[in-house]
Amino acid sequence: MNDNFEGIYPAVLTPFRDERSLDLDAFAALVDRLYAAGVDGIYVGGNTGEWYLQTLDERKQTARAAVELSRGRGRVILHVGCARTEDAMELARFAERAGVDAVSSLPPYVQRWSLDEVLEYYRALASSTALPAMVYYFPALTGAIPGADFFGRVRAIPGIRGFKFTDFNLYELGLMAEQAGSEFFILNGHDQLLLPGLLMGASGGVGSFYNIVPEWFVSLFHAWKSGDLDLARQRQFRINRLIQSVKKHRLIPALKCIAGMQGIHAGISRGPTLDLPPAEREQLLDQVRELIAAQA
């Protein structure tokens, strides 16, 4: 199987029950909806999946469910990033046993680790599994890591096969893509820049808004692949109008609220995250209904 990933990979929400335990039934319903929309796989346990509010055991449960739900339908990329290197290695080894297709990780970022320390983290992670390993590149969250210079050094680590590029600096994405070669892949991470990211060398995308309008992103990607740039641009404009409306609210509670409107009971987040107040929820849903209806 080709280890280079391309296409549309929703960064899947993690539904919680009202008592805030994992809701794997709702997770299955969401994943079914995503595959029905034509996505190429799923990205599990990332920031959108609220990995930072779950135990290692819960993250393993979700990964196992994702693999079962994806058989014959698409690939699973599991985010295994942890504050402790040993925990990330444990999750990566589990992912391989469970049948995950690739692992991904943010760099450690609770402290301002040095570049050498970050590189050592990725060496340890990549050495713990035979799966392709992806760097989750998100400098606005994790701090300043030199772009193209960092890329060159981390790409030399055996087992590192891809980047999830979540940054607005498409100049750096282009430099990285030019260096990458055929054995390395880059997935775009900012939903509002999917088409520009593809133009600059990304092979696909991972995104949060894919949860609520997966068909829009699949349509954009297919238009891009077929060479219809005008249609792809129109799809990106449509996506960005939705993002512009939703980003006035806190992202994860807003996405879960919209998923609920669409029949997926994603529940609410765990503390310290607060749910949206009722009036804000209604305002959000009114705006989203109008935007989606206008594109029907």
Domain residue ranges in the chain: 7-228
User: Any idea which residues carry the catalytic annotation?
Assistant: 136, 164
Give the whole-number percent of the chain exceeding pLDDT 70.
98
Please state which of the ranges 34-43, 208-217, 262-271 shows the lowest mean pLDDT.
Answer: 262-271
Q: pTM of the prediction?
A: 0.95
1 pLDDT higher than 50: no
Q: With cut-offs at 50, 70 and 90, classify the pLDDT of residue 4.
A: confident
- Would you mind telling me the total number of residues written for the chain in this entry? 296
CATH class held by domain 7-228: alpha beta
Q: What is the pLDDT of residue 153?
A: 92
The mean pLDDT of 197-212, rounded to a whole number, is: 98
Q: Are residues 150 and 117 in contact, defined by beta-carbon separation less than 8 angstroms?
A: no
What are 53-65's pLDDT values in tens digits?
A: 999 999 999 999 9
